[in-house]
Amino acid sequence: MLKVLAEQSEALSMPEAESQIREIVQHYFEGLHFANTGLLRTLFSEDCVLKAPGIRRDLNQWLARVEDRPVPAETGAAFDYQILTLEIIGEQAMVKVLCPLLDDVFIDFLGLLREDGQWRIVNKMYADKP
């Protein structure tokens, strides 16, 4: 089920914001699937902290782990990533995504802010799908 909530922002219409966020999330999926850390770096704010139960990593630590693990695309993994929910309020958004990676399935919550005219992921929480 996809749910989109928004308050109109004078600077950016709801359809424009949604389109831009969906594009970022698509690039996020591609970055994960192809282990493209250069692409992933462009999507995140530098001060982002990635969190899972009992885990805290800064962006550089997380990207190093992405570089060191098998590349899903090279293992023949299907590109089955999905946006589950998307909520936009002004210049902030929360996106819940399904990420089947390697031998696991993760649910990620991506927090985005639009600052200086650009959407960036400022927070990522993730856990194994129950």
Distance between CA atoms of residues 29 and 91, nearest Å: 22
Query: Would you say 121 and 110 are in contact if contact means Cβ atoms under 8 Å apart?
Result: yes
Q: How confident is the model at residue 5 (pLDDT cuts 50, 70, 90)?
A: very low
pTM for the full predicted model: 0.89
pLDDT digits (tens, 9 = 90+) for 50-73: 999 999 999 999 999 999 999 999
Q: How many CB atoms lie within 10 A of CB 26?
A: 12
Q: How confident is the model at residue 128 (pLDDT cuts 50, 70, 90)?
A: confident
pLDDT digits (tens, 9 = 90+) for 81-117: 999 999 999 999 999 999 999 889 999 999 999 999 9
At 14 the pLDDT is 86
Distance between CA atoms of residues 110 and 95, nearest Å: 5
> Is the backbone of residue 123 left (phi > 0), alpha (psi -120 to 50) or beta?
beta
Distance between CA atoms of residues 104 and 31, nearest Å: 17
For the chain, the residue count is 130
